[in-house]
């Protein structure tokens, strides 16, 4: 890891990198190893520009004194790109397997900017399911985007045209390159802030999605998160992780039903 100590270049010293990556780990469980130096540096520089601070050490002191900026920094570092109908085989499995006469309670436990929750909702509506979705994330910035439900058109490129026309509104004028999820879809999804590391589940669910976030966790954190989520999963319920994630070797008691898909006995 190449580091430069000059404050003028806004580069991180090794000690500063260790301190900031430690803050991120304690708050979010995300591991930033030395390969993530450039990522952390880029996100840090954006926050320093916003706060008009030119010294890394001064910015680190601000994080200690200003809770709002602390939250902004965590948002900046933990935000990840997503899109509609990502790894959609999990949702296809559900609509082809479950009885649409039985009401479903669903938790999207790392909802990012909302594409996953709304992808689930439009497909369940299309197949006449009765359901409610609780979608949570650690980022206040992402939750604001979720509630606005406005997305660039490239995010919906995988959505079938019939569903796109039925459940999304196309923007006009300055919003012509955006779409918005229709109110009849949004009413089924509740968004709230939730920290997978420190908050306690307050309900149980028939289906839990926690996809493409555990790849950033170390083994101990994955174990704690999976165990907590499994306690909130009803017997016979389904748990989904990202296709690139692996919970084998963890003592969760779930049965594999498809890649990234598990069922609680």
Catalytically active residues are 43, 137
Q: Cα separation of 105 and 121, whole Å? A: 12
Three-state helix/strand/coil letters over the chain: CCCCCCHHHCCCCHHHHHHHHHHHHHHHCCCCCHHHHHHHHHHHHHHHHHHCCCCHHHHHHHHHHCHHHHHHHHHHHHCCCCCCCCCCHHHHHHHHHCCCCCCEEEEECCCCCCHHHHHHHHHHHHCCCCEEEEEEECCHHHHHHHHHCEEEHHHHCCCCHHHHHHHEEECCHHHCCEEEECHHHHCCEEEEECCCCCCCCCCCEEEEECCCCHHHCCHHHHHHHHHHHHHCEEEEEEEECCCCCCCCCCCCCCEEEECCEEECC
């Amino acid at each position: 890891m190449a580091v430069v100590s000059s404050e003028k270049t806004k580069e991180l010293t090794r000690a500063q990198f260790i301190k900031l990556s430690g803050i991120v780990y304690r708050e979010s469980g995300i591991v930033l190893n030395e390969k993530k130096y450039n990522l952390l540096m880029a996100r840090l520089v954006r926050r320093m520009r916003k706060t008009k601070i030119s010294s890394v050490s001064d910015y680190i002191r601000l994080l200690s004194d200003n809770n709002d900026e602390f939250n902004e920094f965590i948002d900046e570092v933990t935000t990840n790109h997503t899109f509609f109908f990502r790894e959609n085989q999990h949702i296809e499995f559900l609509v082809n397997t479950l009885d649409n006469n039985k009401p479903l309670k669903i938790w999207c436990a790392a909802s990012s900017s909302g594409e996953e929750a709304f992808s689930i909702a439009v497909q369940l509506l299309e197949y006449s399911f009765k359901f409610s979705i609780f979608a949570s994330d650690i980022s206040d910035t992402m939750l604001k985007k979720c509630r606005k439900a406005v997305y660039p058109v490239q995010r919906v490129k995988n959505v079938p045209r019939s569903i796109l026309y039925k459940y999304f509104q196309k923007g006009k004028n300055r919003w012509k390159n955006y779409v918005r999820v229709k109110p009849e879809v949004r009413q089924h999804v509740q968004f709230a802030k939730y920290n997978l590391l420190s908050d306690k589940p307050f309900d149980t669910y028939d289906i839990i999605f926690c996809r493409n976030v555990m790849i950033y966790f170390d083994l101990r954190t994955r174990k704690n998160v999976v165990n907590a989520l499994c306690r909130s999963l009803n017997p016979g319920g389904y748990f989904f992780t990202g296709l690139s994630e692996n919970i084998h070797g963890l003592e969760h008691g779930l049965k594999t039903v498809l890649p990234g898909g598990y069922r609680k006995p």
